[in-house]
Amino acid sequence: MNTELITYWAEHDSSLQKLLALASHTLRIFDEDLSKLKLENADNAETLHRFLAASDGNNLYIVLKNAEPVRRNCPRLMKLLAAYPQRMTIVECPEHLASLGDSLFIVDDCHALIRFSKDFARAKAIIDNTDECSPYLHRFEEIVKEGGEQVCATTLGL
């Protein structure tokens, strides 16, 4: 069981990659627009691809306050969404949650990267501690209960 406080973006990025590599069942993300998490970069997108391809039981659930940057600027993530629609979900949360300033990156319910502000690298990395991750998992579930609009990998039209 390990908890580490993070104050620099380089530490944040390193912790995110470490946690991403640990994912074996479930990955839950709540974020502004994924830009600070850098999941679109080639290495992180490939890690997500391997995670989703590894098992039919692996799931990636993303809740965003603003999904437009993902739709516009994240072709790798949109390609994953198209390839694994049964295992990957992206939802844009309702507007009344827009004031939430934190970011949650929860892996297998026992690892997490919690960023306290959308603008700063101040965060906490939790490794192998289900008890410490539990309140953040509960917070994520409460956010999901608020609903939202699901992001589709394809544009629907006539």
Cα–Cα–Cα angle for 91, 93, 94, rounded to 5 degrees: 140
At residue 19, what are phi and psi to the nearest 5 degrees? -70, -40
d(C-alpha 93, C-alpha 112), whole Å = 21
Nearest residue to 61 via CA among 96, 31, 91, 21? 91
pLDDT of 117 > 80? The answer is yes
What's the topology of domain 2-150?
Endonuclease; Chain A (3.30.870)
Q: Report, as an integer, the average pLDDT of 60-88.
A: 95
Q: What contacts 119, CB < 8 A, 6 or more positions away? A: 101
- Which pLDDT band holds residue 119 (cuts at 50, 70, 90)? confident
Percent of the chain clearing pLDDT 90 (strictly above) = 89
Q: Report, as an integer, the average pLDDT of 124-146.
A: 96
158 three-state secondary structure? coil
In this prediction, residue 158 carries a pLDDT of 46
Q: Report, as an integer, the average pLDDT of 95-108.
A: 93
- Which pLDDT band holds residue 155 (cuts at 50, 70, 90)? low
Cα–Cα–Cα angle for 132, 137, 142, rounded to 5 degrees: 140
Q: Report, as an integer, the average pLDDT of 108-117.
A: 96
Q: How many Cα atoms occupy the beta-carbon half-sphere of 52 within 13 Å?
A: 21
- Which pLDDT band holds residue 145 (cuts at 50, 70, 90)? very high
Cβ-based burial of 51 (10 A; exposed 0-12, middle 13-18, buried ≥19)? buried
